[in-house]
Amino acid sequence: MASGGDSVAVGTGPRVRRVGFGALHLTGPDLWRPTADPDGAVQVARRAVELGVTFIDTADSYGLGASEELLARALHPYPDGLVIATKAGKTRPSAGEWLPLGRPEYLRQQAELSLRRLRVERIDLFQLHCVDPQVPAAEQFGALRTLQEEGKVRDVGLSEVTVEQLEEARRCIDVVSVQNRYNLADRGHEAVVDHCEREGIAFIPWEPLDLGRLTAPDGAVAATAKALGATPAQVAIAWLLRRSPMMLPIPGTRSLRHLAENVAAGDLGLSDTDFATLSGPVGP
């Protein structure tokens, strides 16, 4: 059974292929500064599109805007069918800090800056990076609704939310995507995945690969990869695609070789036995 050669709907835009690309690592090694190799990063972004990627995820906080600027340099004017998603709602006062900041005026400011850096008049998918516990959630969701009503945002998504937070937001605005940390080794958001599948909401797992916990030579991932002639990363992506038809993993990389491997995982088939074996408990 093929696990991911099809597409998924993300709101009102075009359907996208189910292996996307995360642009976080197109920034510097601390994810806080621009990359020291912008030409190489541009090459990776362009190659992703050449390989058929139609969904790219970034954020205002990735390299303090450097990721968005690099994507515009590499891909603008954007080809038809390509969806660029960005996020706001976390601030980066230092390289090691990611702090929630969901005040409506800040979200609106960051949306304007993202429009400028991406060189677009409307953001395809604008996601709240996290719900700021210091700001009433309704005010944060209302800011997203206002941006959409003004035509600056086409579709709205959320990141790092529970089922309850998602449903609270949906009483205010149509939510088309959820981006939570989820991978074969970390399944803490199973309930959110199931809820998104029932409701037809795209689920975008960030950090879809946790290879440190998945590549033990005597583990199920390594054994499955060997049997299929694939890499452990490809098996981990294929498992995600098989887990839910609404799954849209966004593996990121600075490597052209790893990029090609990740995209090819969309065509890797997992048998029922493979999927069941991989879905068992993951070791410590």
| Residues forming the active site | 62
Closest of 165, 180, 195 to residue 87, by C-alpha: 180
Q: What string of DSSP letters covers 215-231?
A: --TTSHHHHHHHHHT--
* Whole-number Cα distances in Å, 103 to 96, 117, 162: 22, 21, 20
Q: Could you tell me if residue 46 is left (phi over 0), alpha (psi between -120 and 50 degrees) or otherwise beta?
A: alpha
Residue 250 contacts residue 53 (beta carbons within 8 Å): no
Closest of 247, 235, 265, 117 to residue 189, by C-alpha: 247
Q: What angle do the packed helices 163-170 and 137-149 form, to 10 degrees? A: 50
